[in-house]
Structure 1
Amino acid sequence: MFYGQIEGTDFVVLDKRFSELFAGHIRVDRLWTGAVWSEGPAWFAAGRYLIWSDIPNNRMLRYDDASGHVSVFRQPSMNSNGNTVDNQGRLVTCEHLMRRVTRTEIDGSITVLADKWRGKRLNSPNDVVVKSDDSIWFTDPSYGIDSDNEGDRASPEIDGCHAYRVDPKSGDVARIIDDMVRPNGLAFSPDEKLLYVADTGAPRHIRRFAVSPDGKSVKGGEVFAVCAAGAFDGFRVDRDGRVWTSTAEGVHCFDPDGTLIGKILIPEIVANVTFGGVKRNRLFICGTTSLYAALLMTNGSKLG
């Protein structure tokens, strides 16, 4: 179902650096609507399609870039939230209901990558990224167990909400960040020397961590950007290190120096974004009920 460009969408230039990132004739298209809470877009280049989650409806949706058709990819989806694509082109998913991170294999079977830390069940994994060494990094706030809306209400077994790393060889789950209120979206810089993590607790900001030389831990964690419109949720980084992040008024774009250089206004809360398209220069945007997209004059730093 294609709806075309709609009122309430626009590019807002706050710094001339942003005006170089889109052509003057480009507008935002609404590709589909009908979700309750859209999240976790992931682009699959080989098939030219996008997978994303509709969390309360307990389903994953699939947008076909060639035809514009949207269909149900998986239902039930275990109240899936964040998704990404690993280095072998497989789907990696955070599941609120089962409180785990899974991988969908090429044959369609499901492999559990993480569901416990030191013998205790995770809260409700939220967002996930894969590093070039095949390690999997994810956040674990408690949204999926806070109520029955996005999972099953339950008492947490772990003291707090943290971020974790799954070792690609041993499968061991290690806590990498333990001083955030509600860690949420995360992404690496193009060279993977930096890890950005959003906190949807208070204060609502994105922090920037330095990745250790062995790629197994982080340090630092200074505030990179503070959200002035709701909260930062999911985000992605382009090839030049700019951060494109969700907010209550749409998408905010931050230069690597931390300057807010522009906005893409969307008429509903945005939860997450990802780069896709044949040249990875199309920004797919998960609004609350709808899927949007805009062509940019930059490219995503990687798939997922």
Structure 2
Amino acid sequence: MAETSIYEIHDPRFRHLIVTSAHLDELYSGCRWAEGPVWFNDANQLLWSDIPNQRMLRWTPDGGVSAYRQPSNFVNGHTRDRQGRLVSCEHGTRRVTRTEIDGAITVLADRFEGARLNSPNDVVVKSDGTIWFTDPTYGILSDYEGYRADPEQQAQNVFRLDPETGDLSAVATDFIQPNGLAFSPDESLLYVADSAASHDDSLPRHIRVFDVAEGKRLENGRVFCLIDNGIPDGIRTDTNGNLWSSAGDGVHCFDPAGRLLGKIKVPQTVANLCFGGPKRNRLFITATRSLYALYVTATGAQVP
């Protein structure tokens, strides 16, 4: 392993994914727990969550940072659907919502089999329009990131929602605390983080991977990689199938076989990340109090 400025090089291939002279820019500081970054290329803006402060923030290259929504219902993870609409996970209301073009809020899911969801955490949209999200208990454990409550679900599930029919199905039911999730570029695989070690060091701190069968079922779940510092939270893939994960010491990058390629060292614990910018080659990182950005040579796989 070699170290170059903010980078830890564990495999020479990592050098082809990073710009060693690039600077880690701190774009904003003042959050309590920054989360859920999502890039809007058509609006040239990034939105992200500051969960305990009950707000969503907006960053633009020319305008800096401004408030986007407050109160936010302790909103956490975000993505965009294939029509470019914002899809969000709300801890406070224990639901998944969609922000329409006119600003109206549509509730997509808040119950499963008659019981309230735990606290939807992170979300991705597949090319067929289906919405996949995780439902751990973080938002009901205390009044800091939501409202303390007893869980009504029997498990912490990964869900698949068909927004056209409203059909909601639990596609993975054996997680302790499912967290970030991301499809491989061809959507044949779904990666899901289990961050249970956040509250018990003896519990998982790994990312699992599943085969996506017929576009709607998960099969052959297995451990993809372990995080050796902190826990995995938000994750993303690039166009070459590498997986980029949040961690206690920064961002860890793994090849499609689960081998650690390298790390980007960040001064604060990283919660989430996304690729953005006009070329999807700028990594936006939410880390505890701050929003950071770093140019890389990798290209984010997520669309839009």
TM-score scaled by length of structure 2: 0.95
The aligned residue for residue 131 of structure 2 is 136
Equivalents in 2 of 1:113, 1:166: separation in Å? 8
Deviation of 1:175 after TM superposition, in Å, equals 0.4
Q: Which one of 29, 39, 52 corresponds to residue 33 of structure 1? A: 29
Deviation of 1:68 after TM superposition, in Å, equals 4.9
RMSD of aligned residue pairs (Cα, Å): 1.2
Deviating 4+ runs (over 4 angstroms): none
Aligned length: 295
Structure 1 residue identity aligned to 2:191 = Y
The aligned residue for residue 112 of structure 1 is 107
The aligned residue for residue 276 of structure 1 is 276
SS class of match (2:225): strand
The aligned residue for residue 45 of structure 1 is 41
The aligned residue for residue 203 of structure 1 is 204
Equivalents in 2 of 1:153, 1:111: separation in Å? 24
Unaligned runs of 5+ in 2: 197-202
The aligned residue for residue 241 of structure 2 is 241
The aligned residue for residue 6 of structure 2 is 10
SS class of match (1:270): coil
SS class of match (1:179): strand
User: Is residue 264 from structure 1 mapped to residue 264 from structure 2 by the alignment?
Assistant: yes
Equivalents in 1 of 2:229, 2:150: separation in Å? 30
Show the 5 A alignment for 1:15-164.
Answer: 15-65=11-61, 67-164=62-159
SS class of match (2:222): strand
Show the 5 A alignment for 1:265-304.
Answer: 265-303=265-303
Equivalents in 2 of 1:234, 1:302: separation in Å? 14
SS class of match (2:13): helix
The aligned residue for residue 232 of structure 2 is 232
The aligned residue for residue 213 of structure 2 is 212
Deviation of 1:168 after TM superposition, in Å, equals 3.2
Unaligned runs of 5+ in 1: 1-8
Give me the identity figure in percent.
56
Equivalents in 2 of 1:63, 1:183: separation in Å? 28
Deviation of 1:81 after TM superposition, in Å, equals 0.3
CA offset digits 1:197-255 (Å, max 9, x no partner):
00011211000000012x11111111000111010000100000101100000000001
Equivalents in 1 of 2:131, 2:21: separation in Å? 38
Deviation of 1:26 after TM superposition, in Å, equals 1.1
CA offset digits 1:136-160 (Å, max 9, x no partner):
0000000110100001101111112
Equivalents in 1 of 2:178, 2:224: separation in Å? 14
Equivalents in 2 of 1:74, 1:123: separation in Å? 23
SS class of match (2:271): strand
CA contact (8 A) 2:108 2:163 kept: no
CA offset digits 1:113-163 (Å, max 9, x no partner):
000001110000000000000000000000110100001101111112111
Deviation of 1:24 after TM superposition, in Å, equals 2.8
